[in-house]
Structure 1
Amino acid sequence: MRAIWKGAVSFGLVSVPVKLYSATESHDVSFRQVHAKDGGRIRYQRVCSIDGEEVPYADIAKGYETEDGEMVILDDDDMAELPSTSSREIAVEKFVPSDQIDPMLFEKSYYLEPEKSGAKPYALLRQALIDADRMAVVTVALRQRTTIAVLRVRDDVIVLQTMMWPDEIRTPDFSVETGEVKDAEVKMATMLVDTLAGDFDASEFEDDYAAAVEMMVKAKIEGGEMKRTPTSTKSSGEVVDLLAALQRSVDAAKSGRRESDDDADSDAGSDDAGDEKESRSGKGAAKKAPAKKSTAKKSTAKKSASKKAPAKKTAAKKSTAKKSAAKKAS
């Protein structure tokens, strides 16, 4: 785990330097909205509801909507004037009985790890919470906003649990009409409770929905039921097939080299054709030299051809002499 915050727990004159770690992580199954035809991701544009135009992120501001539907726009200067704090202190306000905290108030849980210099006062605070069976109500600044929280002990580790503000807890706006409840019915319900009574063990429960989704997805992958899209291969936060990436780079380099060679050959061919035209028309003194070379090659070829011709005649004379000698012998 990585510490997300560093500060100190202070109660009275005691200060305990600590690190803060997120104690929970969500394993909830999340789905993407995709095009059923080809599996492409559905993208959403930031469109203004008034003019219907897409709005760049730089032009987006914060707006506070009033109860009557009016919109108040707040700019960066307005946001800078709001009260904020960067205090690195977890201030203990009071120690209260554990049963006085409504679990509905609990929001996010964090582990507190002591720094080396604060190991002993950390242990003292932990033991005091256990012996008193109380929680410490604290105030702490997280993400530049002050919130209330409690400190309690779980498995020899002090846990900080942030809490919702009292006005964030909704009051039900309905009443429950039960009618008359008979004593026999209450006794039967009590017997049912006693039958199912036991100790809580979180390991006895599992998220069967997530497991079912994973099994279904695995079966579809093994059956080849996948949609390959240009965005299927991610590059951030995932392992990339290095060999495949290198091979693609090599292929691209070879392709580029072949194209450059073809262009060079075509340019050379056009130059040769131009040289021949200019040598025939007598244009360009500098380009007559290649024409002379080609003429020299032609003359050399003619000489070699003329030299080979007598050799053929000599071979013909020899064959004629052999034929006449054979006739005389017969």
Structure 2
Amino acid sequence: MPARKGAIAFGLVYIPVELYTATQDDAVRFNQLAKDSMKRVRYVKTCPDCKRELGPDDIVKGYQYEKGKYVVISDDELDSLKTEADRSVKIVQFSDLSEVPPLYFEKPYQVVAQSGGEKALELLHRAMAEEGKIAIGTTVIGNSETPIALIPHEGDLVMMTLHYQSEVKDVPKTLQHPAVADEELSMAKKLIESMTAPFDPARFRNTYQERVMELIQNKIAGKETTVEQPAQQPSNIINLMDALAASLKEREGETHSSDDDKKPPRRASTKKTRSSTKTRAAS
């Protein structure tokens, strides 16, 4: 996908940048087929009056202002409404990352300086990183003005589109905060500590999608697919402390097993060899 060109407006500083989508969808795609003929289902757009099939050039955008009455708006007319400011990322304020609830984050873009904007972008990036701040602002994407956050990430600057407050749903029920015992809290903290590690994205794989692809390949080859089911987890927690203690014990077992794998081979075989050598020498 081509980069989206624009600029970052930072006070009176104007930084020309390009925005690149930072993620991709790796989901397995299926086509819909007619069950009897096994032909792909077609979705055809037709005129309700003459029943003629319509192509892209036959379709226009219309806004219904009264029932059955529309005003037609072209893409050129929509683009003509965009000012140079709309095409830029306007920084409105700086905030702490912790002040933005995770529910508001939507889609990431990588920000790259255009020719001539490298120093200004580096200055903004370093100043934000050293101050521990993110930038909050707005830009126009498509036909909608969108709030955004600029976030320093290692040596890069990432732009995250944000949801409007009206788009974030309220929690459907009141969250309960029952009392927890000090012993339970201490045990839970120990379990968290035992599972703490630096984030490594390579550790995570879409194993379900791998099984889907295995199913597809097996069906192509006429083979059966069997999936080994893991041990069934308990459906309810009878004793929270017992569950936490068992979890810690399991973690300790995994840690010891991992440590054993890293240990060098035992030297018992060496002693055996020396013993047998002495026996042969004596004989």
The superposition leaves residues 21-60 of structure 1 with CA deviations (integer Å, 9 ceiling, x where unpaired) of: 1111111122121123442112345589xx8995754478
Q: Is it true that 1:122 corresponds to 2:121 in the alignment?
A: yes
| 8 Å Cα contact 2:64-2:71 kept in structure 1 | no
Which amino acid is the alignment partner of residue 99 of structure 1?
S
> Cα gap change, 1:162/1:224 in structure 2, threshold over 3 Å: closer, same or farther?
same
Alignment partner, residue 2 of structure 2: 2
Pairwise mapping of residues 34-113 of structure 1 onto structure 2 (< 5 A)?
A: 34-46=33-45, 57=54, 58=58, 62=62, 73-77=69-73, 84-87=81-84, 88-113=87-112
Q: What TM-score comes out, normalization by structure 2 length?
A: 0.65
Which amino acid is the alignment partner of residue 140 of structure 1?
T
CA distance in 1, matches of 2:72, 2:191: 60
Q: Is it true that 1:219 corresponds to 2:218 in the alignment?
A: yes
- Report how far residue 74 of structure 1 moved: 3.6
CA distance in 2, matches of 1:64, 1:185: 59
The superposition leaves residues 298-322 of structure 1 with CA deviations (integer Å, 9 ceiling, x where unpaired) of: xxxxxxxxxxxxxxxxxxxxxxxxx
Q: Which moved more, 1:77-86 or 1:20-29?
A: 77-86
CA distance in 2, matches of 1:47, 1:85: 32
Classify the secondary structure of the residue corresponding to 1:41.
coil
- Report how far residue 221 of structure 1 moved: 3.0
Q: What TM-score comes out, normalization by structure 1 length?
A: 0.57
**Unmatched tracts of structure 1, length 5 or more:** 226-330
Classify the secondary structure of the residue corresponding to 2:103.
helix
Pairwise mapping of residues 208-287 of structure 1 onto structure 2 (< 5 A)?
A: 208-223=207-222
CA distance in 2, matches of 1:155, 1:81: 37
CA distance in 2, matches of 1:7, 1:60: 28
Q: From the two aligned structures, give the one with the greater helix fraction.
A: 1
Which amino acid is the alignment partner of residue 205 of structure 2?
E
Pairwise mapping of residues 135-146 of structure 1 onto structure 2 (< 5 A)?
A: 135-146=134-145
Alignment partner, residue 292 of structure 1: none
| 8 Å Cα contact 1:106-1:163 kept in structure 2 | yes
**Unmatched tracts of structure 2, length 5 or more:** 225-283
Alignment partner, residue 130 of structure 2: 131
- Report how far residue 71 of structure 1 moved: 5.3
CA distance in 1, matches of 2:52, 2:179: 60
CA distance in 2, matches of 1:52, 1:183: 72
Alignment partner, residue 199 of structure 2: 200
The superposition leaves residues 214-267 of structure 1 with CA deviations (integer Å, 9 ceiling, x where unpaired) of: 222223334499xxxxxxxxxxxxxxxxxxxxxxxxxxxxxxxxxxxxxxxxxx
> Cα gap change, 1:71/1:206 in structure 2, threshold over 3 Å: closer, same or farther?
farther
Alignment partner, residue 161 of structure 1: 160
> Cα gap change, 1:17/1:143 in structure 2, threshold over 3 Å: closer, same or farther?
same
The superposition leaves residues 121-160 of structure 1 with CA deviations (integer Å, 9 ceiling, x where unpaired) of: 1111110111011101121122142211011122312111
Classify the secondary structure of the residue corresponding to 1:147.
strand
CA distance in 1, matches of 2:178, 2:124: 50
Alignment partner, residue 304 of structure 1: none
Q: Is it true that 1:185 corresponds to 2:181 in the alignment?
A: no
| 8 Å Cα contact 2:61-2:74 kept in structure 1 | no
Which amino acid is the alignment partner of residue 85 of structure 1?
K
Which amino acid is the alignment partner of residue 10 of structure 1?
A
The superposition leaves residues 154-176 of structure 1 with CA deviations (integer Å, 9 ceiling, x where unpaired) of: 23121111111111000022124
RMSD between aligned residues: 3.4
> Cα gap change, 1:34/1:115 in structure 2, threshold over 3 Å: closer, same or farther?
same
- Report how far residue 202 of structure 1 moved: 1.5
- Report how far residue 182 of structure 1 moved: 3.8
| 8 Å Cα contact 1:61-1:73 kept in structure 2 | no
Classify the secondary structure of the residue corresponding to 1:76.
strand
Percent same amino acid at aligned positions?
26
